[in-house]
């Protein structure tokens, strides 16, 4: 069993990274976990989109 972690500041970048990984080989996907974190710094909102793929 292995894991692959993805972390991006934009959801479209995360989607592209995951799709690229999945199309790069044949994997037995066990589970995909997704998370969004939001932080505020002054007037800015900071987003962190992450996913973990558990596979064989």
Q: Tell me: the pLDDT tens digits for 15-37?
A: 999 999 999 999 999 999 999 99
Confidence label for 45 from pLDDT (cuts 50, 70 and 90): very high
Q: How far is CA 45 from CA 9, 39, 42, in A?
A: 11, 6, 8
Tell me the average pLDDT of the chain.
96
Q: Where are the alpha helices (DSSP H) in 1-56?
A: 11-23
**pLDDT for residue 24:** 96
Q: What CATH number is associated with residue 28?
A: 3.30.1660
Instruction: Please report, to the nearest 10 degrees, the dihedral formed by the alpha carbons of residues 12, 24, 7, 16 taken in order.
Output: 0
Question: How much of the chain, in percent, has pLDDT values that exceed 90?
Answer: 100
Its domain, for residue 41, covers 2-55
Q: Which residue has the tokens 């558990």?
A: 54
**pLDDT for residue 40:** 94
**Structural domain count, the chain:** 1
Residues 1-7 have a mean pLDDT of 97
Q: Closest Cα to residue 37, out of 3, 18, 9?
A: 9
């Amino acid at each position: 069993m292995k894991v692959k972690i993805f972390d991006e500041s934009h959801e479209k970048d995360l989607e592209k990274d995951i799709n690229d990984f999945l199309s790069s080989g044949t994997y037995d996907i066990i589970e995909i976990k997704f998370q969004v974190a939001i932080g505020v710094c002054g007037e800015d909102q900071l987003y962190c989109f992450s996913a973990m793929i558990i596979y064989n």
